[in-house]
Amino acid sequence: MAAIWTALSLTVGFDVDSAQGTAESRGNNAKASQNGGASRESSVKLKPPPRRKPEEAEPPSAELVWETETGGLCFLAPADGMLLAATTGGKIIALDKEKGHILWSFTTDGWIASRPVYAEGKVFVGSTDHCLYALESRSGRMLWRFRALGEIISPPTVFGNAIFFVCDNNQVFDLNTYVYALDAEGGGLLWYRETPGWVTSSPSAGPGGIILTNYSRDIVSLDRREGLQQWSAPASNLVFKPPLVEAGLVYVVSLGGTVQALREENGTVFWSVGIDDFIWAPPVLGGGQLVLTSNGMTFYALDPASGEQSWAVNLGDLLAFPPELDDGHLFALSGSNRVYMLSLADGGLTACWRVDAPVSTSPLIWQGLFFCGGSDGVLRAYTLPLSR
C-alpha cells in the first residue's frame, strides 16, 4: 500500500504528506467560537473568478544557494534552526539550512513516504518497517522506536505530551488501518484501536480530541485519553486530506469543493460553503484567512468564522503541490516550476519566479528560503525575492 500512496502523492494535487504536525504550535488565527451562534450552510456555490492576465515577461530564476545529494526523494520539515529531510531510501538527514552541510543522518529499516515532525528537541518519523522512530534532534541518536501493526506512511501528530499516528496492514483485500497514541517522551503505548473506516491521512489533534476522516465519508472525533469515539459527522464527499483544527472549529474539505466548519465539541455544522471547483489541497489558515486552492491554481480566501468569501484570484496555472505559508504570504508551486507569492490580505500577486531544477516532492518555504528535492536525488535551497 505504501507504494500506491507514494505514487499518488507524486501526482498533481495529491500529497499524503500534508499533515498537521505539531498541532499546538499553530496560532489562534480564527476568531470563531465553538459555542453558540447559528449554523450557516450556503446553498450558493462560489465560482472561480476570471483568469488573471498572465505576465508577458518570463519570470526571473530563483537564485540557487546550495545543493546537497540525498540519494532519494525528500520530504522536508523545519526543526530548531535545522532542515530535516526524510528520504524514500529510509534516511532522516539533518542539514544546516544556510549552507546545506549534513549534520547527521539516521537510517531506518524501511523506506519513508512522509515528512518528519519536530517537537521539544525530538524528531519523529514513521517508516514502512512498521516503526515510529524518535530521534534526538541535535545528534540524530535514536531515543526510542515503537513497532505498530502496519506501515506508517503519513506524518505523526504531536499534541501535548502524546504523539498520534495512523498505520495500515498492507493487505489489499483485507485492509485495516489503526490509530495509535504514544507517550512522546518514552514511546510507551497509551492506546490503539482499529480506525472507523479506512483512514489514509494523518490524525488531527485539538483540545477536544483526535479527528480522523475516512473513505466512508465520516468525520470522527476520538477521546485523546482512551481513543473512544466521541462523535461522528458526515462529510459531503470523500476526504483525502487531514482536517484543520483551530479555535474550537474543525475545517474539512471534501472532494467536489465543499468546505465544512464543524464545532469541535460535538461535530455539528457551524458553517458550510460549496466551491464550484476541484479542490484537493488541504486548507491553510493565516493572516485571518482560511485559504482553499484548486488544482487550476484558483485561491479562495474565506472568513474562518463565517465562511464568507474575502477574496479570490485565478492564476490559470496547474498546482503541483499544496501551498505553503511564510511571513504573511502564500506560496504555491505550479507544474511549470513557477513559484507564486500572494498576499494573504487581498490575494495580490507579490512576486513570481521560476525554479530551474526538478521539484518532485512538496517544497518547504522557511525563513526566506525555498527548499525542494528533485527526482535526481538532490536537495536544493533557493533565495526568495521579497518584491516584484
What average pLDDT does the segment 307-320 reach?
A: 94
Whole-number pLDDT of residue 173: 62
Residue 199, C-beta contacts closer than 8 angstroms, at least 6 positions apart: 166, 177, 179, 212, 213, 214, 215
Whole-number pLDDT of residue 33: 41
Whole-number pLDDT of residue 198: 86
Asked if the model's pLDDT at residue 371 lies above 60, the reply is: yes
Q: Which residue has the higher pLDDT, 33 or 352?
A: 352
Res. 203 pLDDT band, cuts 50 70 90: very high
Q: Is 318 helix (H, G, I), strand (E, B) or coil?
A: coil
Q: Scanning the structure block, which residue is given the C-alpha cell 450558493?
A: 44
Question: Could you report the per-residue pLDDT of 255-274, keeping only the tens digit for each?
Answer: 888 999 999 999 999 999 99
- Is the Cβ–Cβ distance between 148 and 154 less than 8 Å? no
Residue 41: name the closest of 243, 255, 269 by CA: 269
What average pLDDT does the segment 45-56 reach?
A: 82
Query: Residue 53 has what DSSP assignment?
Result: P
What average pLDDT does the segment 174-193 reach?
A: 94
pTM of the model: 0.87
Asked if the model's pLDDT at residue 31 lies above 90, the reply is: no
Q: Which residue has the higher pLDDT, 327 or 28?
A: 327
Asked if the model's pLDDT at residue 197 lies above 60, the reply is: yes
What average pLDDT does the segment 183-187 reach?
A: 97
Res. 24 pLDDT band, cuts 50 70 90: very low
Question: Could you report the per-residue pLDDT of 62-120, keeping only the tens digit for each?
Answer: 999 999 999 889 999 999 899 999 999 999 999 999 999 999 999 999 999 999 999 99
Res. 44 pLDDT band, cuts 50 70 90: low
Asked if the model's pLDDT at residue 5 lies above 60, the reply is: no
Residue 112: name the closest of 129, 134, 96 by CA: 129
